[in-house]
Amino acid sequence: MNTPPCDMLVLGGTGDLSLHKLLPALYHLHREGRLPGDMRIHTAALDSLSRDAYLALAERNCRAQVARSEFDNDTWQGFAARIDYFSMDLSQSADFNRLGKWLGDGCQRGRVYYLATAPDLFEPIAEHLHNAGLAGPHTRIVLEKPIGHSLESAREINRSIGRVFEESQVFRIDHYLGKETVQNLMALRFANALFEPVWRAGHIDHVQITVSETLGVENRGAYYDHTGAMRDMLQNHLLQLLCLVAMEAPVHFDAESVRNEKVKILQALKPISGLDVQDKTVRGQYSAGHIGGQEVPAYYFEKNVDNDSDTETFVAVQAEIDNWRWAGVPFYLRTGKRMARKCSEIVIQFKPVPHRLFDGSQANRLLIRLQPEERISLQLMGKSPGKGMRLTPMELDLNLAQVFPQKRRWDAYERLLLDVIEGDSTLFMRRDEVEAAWAWVDPILSGWDSYYPNSRPYPAGSNGPEQAQSLLELAGREWHD
């Protein structure tokens, strides 16, 4: 395998992201021989831990995340030999000088800095890396979403990072872009002539993008309560999915061509501002309810959440793209926590036939499911067996786990970490994309402040507030639940 030599330094190495996602993903890559042979994985965080104590913590978490059949002691020992740990305060410049000495080589080798930290540390860390002489041309920096909490703050972060790193060195991660079916969406659209002629306003009635979770905020209350569903999910994951559905075919499948097309879609989103937020958006917050037979508390009783918090845990938006291909086609976006089921899917609802020969029909839709199962299914109307023309919905169903039963399903982070190591930024957000997404989201957030001050309650375990149903019903449509 020809991956160029490169080390990784995970800043925030004791946090949930590192322990639950990054290390297990790196373990899998190591196990499959995908990491450069001599790659070191340095981790750093405030906790004062010995290397052995850190390895014990890492092993415990990897064992919990990796399937039993894929975890064995020899592989773990080989992987653990790559890892070391440095205790430091990420906000202190002097600690980066210590870090530099500890790393030793003055960063002549390629090195990836993964900032698995709170976003307010992005700017100081970049500056400290620079001052300590650790941000050379062979380095890359990975930033987790959300980048900022508004257009202004995102610009400020991008400017500060840009003072230290070239744009080609910056990898803004959105793990939804690393999901298998999301990539399949591009294959489906751009490798099959079948869909292109109908992939437009003349044939598509509307598009639905849903990311619903059954989980609440778990132990992330402090972060979530000043973030909310709009900034945590819609500004990034859902808008990225929308881009992939709506973008024109790129000239090449490379980072610049793909991202050029995505940013055009974000810039073409019709603004929603002022009073429009009342008709085009729904914000909700879960109240107490039941999930899988278990009683769960209301959001404002979650740990580290304000008792009178009005943060939205659900958001639905009717978006429109003002361009030739999509004029007049609503894109309904919806995401929420503590919903009835965990499901991420995109529904392309085609228009009905122009002249109805048969009673009652609908289907006519393409369903792209990202999770829990990876599935692409074309839902059609067909004839029910027997006498008479009784129509019934049928499916051409492509369940990817069944099509490739022998292939292990890669986690999004595995794919994306390997891309960073290989320097491929096709699946990462460019600076102008992030800013264009905020430029569309900001007016909705300020519209909420003035015209939509209270989140609508919805019981945990439901499909969100009633108002989200009305958003479609008023136009004679319904959510695909």
* Least CB distance to ligand BG6 at residue 310 (A): 18
Cβ-Cβ contacts under 8 Å for 153 (sequence gap 6 or more): none
* Cβ distance to ligand BG6 smaller for residue 7 or 174: 174
Half-sphere exposure at residue 132, Cβ-oriented, CA atoms within 13 angstroms: 24
Nearer to ligand BG6 among residue 274 and residue 372 (C-beta): 372
Q: 407 among the known binding-site residues?
A: no
Write down the least CB distance from residue 25 to ligand BG6, Å.
12
For 434, other C-beta atoms within 10 Å of its C-beta total: 27
Active-site residue, 28 included: no
CA distance 337 to 462: 10
Report the residue number, 36 or 336, with the smaller CB distance to ligand BG6. Answer: 336
Q: Give helix 122-131 / helix 93-103 axis angle, nearest 10°.
A: 60
Q: Kindly write out the interface string for residues 324-363 of this chain, putting x where it contacts ligand BG6 by CB under 6 A and - elsewhere.
A: --------------------x-------------------
Q: At what angle do helices 412-422 and 23-31 cross, to 10 degrees?
A: 70
CA terminus-to-terminus distance, the chain? 44
Least distance from C-beta 122 to ligand BG6, angstroms?
Answer: 16
Q: Among 95, 213, 419, 442, which residue sits at the site for ligand BG6 (rule: CB under 6 A)?
A: 213
Residues of the chain by 3-state class (helix, strand, coil), percent to 5: 40, 20, 40
- For ligand BG6, give the closer residue by CB, 111 or 237: 237
Q: How far is CA 65 from CA 85, 96, 194, 288, 382, in A?
A: 20, 31, 39, 29, 43
Least distance to ligand BG6, CB of residue 412, Å:
7
Residue 280 Cβ vs ligand BG6, minimum distance, rounded to whole Å: 23
Separation CA 138–CA 122 (nearest Å): 19
Catalytic residue among 237, 252, 290, 355: 237
Asked whether the beta carbons of 319 and 330 are under 8 A apart, the reply is: yes
175: annotated binding-site residue? yes
Contact residue for ligand BG6 among 95, 180, 205, 232 (CB under 6 A): 232
Residue 262, annotated ligand binder?
no
Place of tokens 């009652």: 360
Q: Is 337 annotated as a binding residue?
A: yes
Tokens found for residue 170: 């910056």
What 3-state class would DSSP assign to 84?
strand
Fill in the per-residue mask, 158 to 197: x = in contact with ligand BG6 (CB under 6 A), - = not in contact: ----------------------------------------
Give the residues lining the site for ligand BG6 (CB under 6 A): 213, 232, 344
- Residues with a known catalytic role: 237
Residues at the binding site for substrate are: 175, 179, 213, 232, 337, 342
